[in-house]
Structure 1
Amino acid sequence: MSDPSSSSHVAIADFWFDPICPWAWITSRWMKEVEQVRGVRTRFHVMSLTYLNQDKNVSDDYRKLLATAWGPVRVCMAAASHHGEEVLDQLYTEIGIRFHNKGLDRSRETLEEALDAAGLPAELAAAMDSPDYDEFIKVSHHAGMDQVGNEVGTPVISVEGIAFFGPVVTPIPRGEAAGRLWDGVRLVAGTEGFYELKRTRTTEPTFD
């Protein structure tokens, strides 16, 4: 099972992300590892933690974080709208490296740098201050979240009729360890009547 070229079948894993979430970022990097050892390709879509939590009782600190979240999601949606959703793979990579690995702020300058590195027009960063793409964001958001419910967040993955939140993991599983986790997640999530398996996080996210 470790050779992705041994089978002609490639499963599409649809992945919904909000660029500000460090846990979704780790999961996305895990999926890139999975692609190397299993017959799977990740297809990225945006969701919005701000939209998800707009009517929820969250802490003041988290509310402040969410206030910065619309901008990056809007820029991702603008890029997808003008250049196709396939550009989100590289754009999310460039944004994630800057937000999470490098710890840069969520400024227009950072987003312009990410866009340029992804081969996209830096002018798309202007979308961060515009509501023009918000309805498109909500449509994309619901396409993912409606499969799993609103009591979870990001990441959401849907593959061949099986949708789930997570996995939430740190550090990033690499190589065959990534493949084994993928096998297990699909097995558990595909079990009829299975809903939850969870334990309290005891470490901060690491991006190595």
Structure 2
Amino acid sequence: MSADLEFFFDPLCPFCWVTSRWVVEVQRQRTLAVRWRPLSLAILNEDISYEQRKQASPAYPDSHVRGLEMLRVVHAARERAGPERVGDLYTALGELVWDSEAPQGDDFDAVMQEMARHRDLRPALERAGLPADLAEAADDAGRDADLRAETFEGVDRCGGGVGTPILSFAPPDGPALFGPVVDSPPAGTDALRLWAAVETLATWPGFAELKRNLRSFPDTTLTAKLARTGTQVR
């Protein structure tokens, strides 16, 4: 399957989810072949200490483990049904998390506890038209070697030091960028305007970086009580 873009994702990254919904909106309006590929934040961060992040929420590392478990299921689904099914499965998994009702608590820890919660993945598989028994792959650590290779392939395309989302244009040899990081997915002509800007920067000869650390919490159903508040969460 040839692709105009490879999108590297972790289902438990809220910023990645919002960016992915923007890309889906762009696909709705123009011809854009996207190959969806796993990038595990749990694997990427395994050599760093979570202590600082655990001060914000003890559930922080567990949320990344949930993402890895989902990516094992993605790996199994791709193996059985082909890469063209991954995008629909990511959508179904993401909806399972990000369309969940906001927790009663209105602080960051309450949201992280919900993100880190074990979920039955079978409904997401069925919604994506895939066999429910693929959910058993969530505990299959034998898939992690492949996921590790794919994770660092995506990161290395950007030169290292990044997470999700990664947009890799004209893969595998075209330019790749981390981002864009936005708090809500633009729609309609705004989605196309943002796409044109990102694509222009990505393909501009010698372009390397455009960044600021100020960001607002993504706006999803799950995170509604924190949406558009300042955050340093990655």
When normalised by structure 2's length, the TM-score is: 0.78
Letter in 1 for 2:186: P
Secondary structure class of the residue paired with 2:33: strand
Q: Post-superposition shift, 1:133?
A: 1.1
1:5 is matched with which residue?
Answer: none
The answer on whether the counterparts of 2:122 and 2:132 sit within 8 Å (CA) in structure 1 is yes
Q: Deviations over 1:149-207 (max 9, x none)?
A: 33110111111212111111121110111111111011112223322212234421113
Where structure 2 has 5 or more consecutive residues not aligned to the other structure, the ranges are 102-113, 222-234
Structure 2 residue corresponding to 1:73, chosen from 56, 71, 74? 71
The answer on whether the counterparts of 1:108 and 1:125 sit within 8 Å (CA) in structure 2 is no
Pair 1:25 & 2:38 matched: no
5 Å-filtered alignment, 1:51-70, equals: 51-58=43-50, 59-60=53-54, 61=57, 62-70=60-68
2:98 is matched with which residue?
Answer: 100
Letter in 2 for 1:107: H
Q: Deviations over 1:34-68 (max 9, x none)?
A: 11333312210111001111112342243233233
1:134 is matched with which residue?
Answer: 144
The answer on whether the counterparts of 1:15 and 1:45 sit within 8 Å (CA) in structure 2 is yes
1:40 is matched with which residue?
Answer: 32
User: Percent identity between the aligned chains?
Assistant: 39
Q: Post-superposition shift, 1:124?
A: 0.8
Give the Cα–Cα distance (whole angstroms) in 2 for the partners of residues 147 and 12 of structure 1.
15
Structure 1 residue corresponding to 2:191, chosen from 178, 187, 190? 178
Q: Post-superposition shift, 1:26?
A: 0.7
Give the Cα–Cα distance (whole angstroms) in 2 for the partners of residues 126 and 120 of structure 1.
13
> Structure 1 residues 73-82 or 144-153, which shifts more?
144-153
Structure 1 runs (4+) greater than 4 angstroms displaced: 103-106
Q: Post-superposition shift, 1:108?
A: 4.5
Query: Alignment RMSD, CA only?
Result: 2.0
1:203 is matched with which residue?
Answer: 216
Q: 1:46 to 1:125 in 2, by over 3 A?
A: same
2:231 is matched with which residue?
Answer: none
Give the Cα–Cα distance (whole angstroms) in 1 for the partners of residues 86 and 68 of structure 2.
16
Where structure 1 has 5 or more consecutive residues not aligned to the other structure, the ranges are 1-9
The answer on whether the counterparts of 1:36 and 1:175 sit within 8 Å (CA) in structure 2 is no
Number of equivalenced pairs: 198
Give the Cα–Cα distance (whole angstroms) in 2 for the partners of residues 41 and 200 of structure 1.
30
Give the Cα–Cα distance (whole angstroms) in 2 for the partners of residues 64 and 118 of structure 1.
25
Give the Cα–Cα distance (whole angstroms) in 1 for the partners of residues 220 and 33 of structure 2.
21
Pair 1:87 & 2:97 matched: no
Letter in 2 for 1:122: A
Structure 2 residue corresponding to 1:163, chosen from 153, 176, 193? 176
